[in-house]
């Protein structure tokens, strides 16, 4: 992890509160360890669902890839499901670079449930 700041000191994600705010900067690597780019984003807990007690957050990010493409993605996240290791999935759009106008989705989940400092991630884009 390059940088992480949060109003909640619990990095495990086990004790969310309404209005928690976090910002992240993460390097993105290919499976072979090659650096692909960096993501800068932030999230805010919006509310707690009455039926299951899960906190719902909004997370948005800008992903700058070394190939010149810039991807923006964001959406709602069920924090309890993410903390349990389920992937979060949002719409994604390339806003600059060779693939500008391509759309698709962004998906990520914590690699280890106990800490949220490394994620398994993918971006799937469909032609322009």
Nearest to 87 by CA among 65, 111, 70: 111
Q: How far is CA 17 from CA 51, 54, 92, 127, in A?
A: 16, 10, 27, 39
Burial classification of residue 88, based on how many CB atoms lie within 10 Å of its CB (0-12 exposed, 13-18 middle, 19 or more buried): buried
Say what the pLDDT of residue 35 is.
96
pTM of the model: 0.85
pLDDT digits (tens, 9 = 90+) for 72-107: 999 999 988 988 889 999 999 999 999 999 999 999
Nearest to 22 by CA among 50, 38, 37, 1: 1
Q: Using the structure block, give the residue that is written with the tokens 């280890």.
A: 112
pLDDT band at 119 (very low <50, low <70, confident <90, very high): confident
Question: Domains along the chain?
Answer: 3-126 (2.40.480.10)
pLDDT band at 22 (very low <50, low <70, confident <90, very high): confident
């Amino acid at each position: 992890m390059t940088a992480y700041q949060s109003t909640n000191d619990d990095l495990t994600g086990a004790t969310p509160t309404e209005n928690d705010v976090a910002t992240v900067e993460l390097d993105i690597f290919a499976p072979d360890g090659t650096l692909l780019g960096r993501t800068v984003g932030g999230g805010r807990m919006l509310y707690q669902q009455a039926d299951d007690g899960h906190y719902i957050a909004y997370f948005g990010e800008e992903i700058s890839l070394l190939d010149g493409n810039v991807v923006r993605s964001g959406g709602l996240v069920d924090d309890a499901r993410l903390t349990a290791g389920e992937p979060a999935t949002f719409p994604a759009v390339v806003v600059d670079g060779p693939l500008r106008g391509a759309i698709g989705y962004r998906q990520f989940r914590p690699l280890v449930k106990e800490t949220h400092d490394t994620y398994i991630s993918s971006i799937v884009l469909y032609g322009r």
